[in-house]
Amino acid sequence: MRNYELLRNLMVETQLIPRGIKDKRVLDTMRKVPRHLFMPEKYRDDAYEDMALPIGEGQTISQPYMVAIMTELLELNGDEKVLEIGTGSGYQAAILAELSREVYTVERIESLGDNVRLKLKEMGYDNIYVIVADGTKGLPEKAPFDRIIITAATPKIPECLIEQLNDGGIIVAPVGQRFSQILIKAKKVMGTMKEEYHTPCVFVPLIGEHGWKE
Ligand code: SAH
């Protein structure tokens, strides 16, 4: 049994702070949430390494730094209704749930979604809703949202997601080609999107009606 708490602190000190993550609430949350419990047992000892790792079904849990920067860019203050597209392991959803009011997270692969729903319940999260569906269409029945995060690579931010975002809201997403993207933060200001470009990144593809075809 590793000392996971120590590894989490090391992760924050060596991977997040030196790369410029500053939001204290984000750093504290990443010191707290047990990332290793979101991955298959055989990878648990690597949970706090500086990389993405496989979670089954050809999908991955994002690198800790990527989770931290995306969360920081969302500027959460605790009162937001958040939509995540791409539940994967559920780790990002748990981080978001610690920092906002409620999180709706959409996953396309049923087995992953069902797994995460059980896990989050066991862990005591009661403000995360896992929905199995094509997240490229958003979640119109629960819209509007204050924040939207897409955790899979997308050729562009789907128009319907912009429609489901409140004015003043923020979308963070890896946008670009299938095998390389740029992290974009887009803020909705009086109906138009103001974009900022951040770090290059590589995510698994967003597959669906407004993403890529299978
Ligand atoms: N946020 C996750 C990492 C996500 S990996 C974590 O913290 O672990 C990207 C996920 O997006 C994969 O699980 C993939 O199945 C899912 N995905 C791909 N296309 C999707 C779509 N159209 N709707 C919902 N989820 C999708």
Cis omega (within 30 of 0) for bond into 18? no
Tell whether ligand 1 has an atom less than 6 A from the beta carbon of residue 109. yes
Compute, in angstroms, the gap from residue 87 CA to the centroid of ligand 1: 5
Per the structure, how many domains does the chain have?
Answer: 1
Tell whether ligand 1 has an atom less than 6 A from the beta carbon of residue 62. yes
Tell whether ligand 1 has an atom less than 6 A from the beta carbon of residue 208. yes
Helices 91-99 and 64-73: crossing angle in degrees, nearest 10, is 30
Compute, in angstroms, the gap from residue 39 CA to the centroid of ligand 1: 14
Q: Which residue has the tokens 């997601």?
A: 161
In a domain, 213, yes or no: no
Catalytic site residue 180?
no
In a domain, 197, yes or no: yes
In a domain, 211, yes or no: no
In a domain, 128, yes or no: yes
Q: Which is nearest to 104 in space by CA: 93, 114, 115?
A: 93
Task: Answer yes or no: pTM beyond 0.95.
Answer: yes
Site to substitute for ligand 1 among 109, 114, 149, 150, most atoms within 8 A of C-beta:
109
Each residue's pLDDT tens digit, 172-198: 999 999 999 999 999 999 999 999 999
Q: What is the CATH number of the domain that holds 118?
A: 3.40.50.150
Each residue's pLDDT tens digit, 122-172: 999 999 999 999 999 999 999 999 999 999 999 999 999 999 999 999 999
Each residue's pLDDT tens digit, 31-64: 999 999 999 999 999 999 999 999 999 999 999 9
**Which range of residues forms the domain containing residue 190?**
4-201
In a domain, 62, yes or no: yes
Rounded-to-integer distance, Cα 125 and Cα 164, Å: 24
Amino acid at 49: E
Band of residue 1 on the pLDDT scale cut at 50, 70, 90? low
Each residue's pLDDT tens digit, 73-89: 999 999 999 999 999 99
Q: What is the pLDDT of residue 2?
A: 81
